[in-house]
Amino acid sequence: MRKADSIYASALDDLIDFSFDERVVDVFPDMIQRSVPSYGNIISMIGVFAAKYAQQNSQCYDLGCSLGAASLSMRQKITHDNCTIVAVDNSSAMIDRAQTIFDADQSSRVPVTLICADIEDVSIENASVVVMNFTLQFIPLAERAALIKRIYDGLKPGGILILSEKISFEDEARDSFLNESHHDFKRANGYSDLEISQKRTALENVLIPETLATHQQRLADAGFASSTMWFQCFNFISLVALK
């Protein structure tokens, strides 16, 4: 059974910045399902996109893989020969737990290599699909353009980047309506006002959202031929950028 997330359920004297530690790993599947609208559908669609865009003799990357849900989804759908998945996260607690999940997964023969490293230190090469499912938002702003460019350079022609992010809106009224709607969604999933506000404080310096226009301009600047928003719910979006 999924262990319930109650990390922010009681008042904490000292709200330190959010980190993906052992405590978070324990409750991560519950936390992300109850916090990210349509998380399960997004994961399923990553598999569907990978089935279409993965290429023979290439690599698929899952950058900021957490417990490897996107890699599992890709693994179950990819049918191409000699296609491998490289899943990267800089939280050793996440990678250790993900390793036990993949060791137990018999659903496919597509090899998955789990790497505990900063995304910035991992070279991206011979890639047909790159996934950043709610990860770029944790990368320092000043480093995002270079990372996207490196991903573009590492993709083969016809390859895609699937980029999912929490975003902000220039229009203040729209921004607060969608933020509030997201908080309503969390309330409906059983989070209390205290949990919502403590989590927001803990994420404040860690998760930095940007506007859709900023993301799309950065993708265009890197060279992507197109970027299409295929998913939006509240302030959560996912794009497919095509090389």
The least distance separating ligand GEK from the CB of residue 68, rounded to whole angstroms, comes to 7
Minimum CB distance to ligand GEK smaller for 83 or for 119: 119
Minimum CB distance to ligand GEK smaller for 164 or for 227: 164
The least distance separating ligand GEK from the CB of residue 46, rounded to whole angstroms, comes to 8
Minimum CB distance to ligand GEK smaller for 22 or for 171: 22
Separation CA 100–CA 228 (nearest Å): 35
The least distance separating ligand GEK from the CB of residue 138, rounded to whole angstroms, comes to 4
Sheet holding 155-166, edge to edge: 112-116, 84-89, 59-63, 127-133, 155-166, 236-242, 226-233
Minimum CB distance to ligand GEK smaller for 159 or for 209: 209
150 CB contacts (<8 Å, ≥6 apart)? 124
Minimum CB distance to ligand GEK smaller for 19 or for 57: 19
Decide if 221 contacts 38 (C-beta within 8 A): no
Q: Tally Cβ neighbours within 10 Å of residue 157.
A: 9
Separation CA 163–CA 155 (nearest Å): 14
The least distance separating ligand GEK from the CB of residue 212, rounded to whole angstroms, comes to 18
The least distance separating ligand GEK from the CB of residue 157, rounded to whole angstroms, comes to 25
The least distance separating ligand GEK from the CB of residue 217, rounded to whole angstroms, comes to 22
Residue 184 tokens read as 């309503």
The least distance separating ligand GEK from the CB of residue 4, rounded to whole angstroms, comes to 16
Minimum CB distance to ligand GEK smaller for 138 or for 177: 138
* Sole residue written with tokens 């403590």: 198
| Residue type at position 112 | V
Separation CA 233–CA 167 (nearest Å): 11
Q: Give the footprint of ligand GEK on this chain (CB under 6 A).
A: 20, 32, 64-66, 69-70, 88-91, 94, 118-119, 133-135, 138-139
Minimum CB distance to ligand GEK smaller for 65 or for 219: 65
Decide if 237 contacts 167 (C-beta within 8 A): yes
Q: Write down the H helix ranges in the chain.
A: 22-35, 39-53, 69-77, 92-104, 141-154, 172-188, 193-203, 212-222
Residue with the closest Cβ to ligand GEK?
Answer: 64
